[in-house]
Amino acid sequence: MLYINCPHCGMRSQNEFSYGGDASVKRPELNKEVTDQEWDNFVYNRKSIRGKHLELWQHISGCRQWIKVERDTATHEIFRTFKADEEVA
């Protein structure tokens, strides 16, 4: 079970969180014309990365904040975590 550092609450076990997918996906702006391809990329197309992956988790049984977690999908190592509005450098 992963041990995730919630930037708001501190170290908490994985069973307090729910997974939210790739954090690098940007939703196209509202009312903007987007091509089918752009929309498909947003809704469906994801890279299945082996290695470092920036992903979303929600601290669902805690502060309910969505956070970003930089995790190695192969080893489960977690490198850094970020608040929703924090820039990932």
Which residues make up the interface to another protein (CB under 8 A)? 1-3, 13, 18, 20, 27-28, 30-31, 34, 36, 39, 42-44, 56, 58, 60, 64-66, 75-76, 78, 84-85
DSSP-based three-state secondary structure for 43: helix
To Zn ion, the closest distance from the beta carbon of 21 in angstroms equals 18
Query: Residue 71's beta-bridge partner residues?
Result: 53, 78
Strands (E), 1-89: 3-6, 10-13, 18-22, 52-58, 66-72, 78-83
To another protein, the closest distance from the beta carbon of 19 in angstroms equals 11
To Zn ion, the closest distance from the beta carbon of 1 in angstroms equals 16
Residues that bind Zn ion (CB under 5 A): 6, 8-9, 59, 62-63
Contact assessment for residue 40 and residue 48, using Cβ atoms and an 8 Å cutoff: no
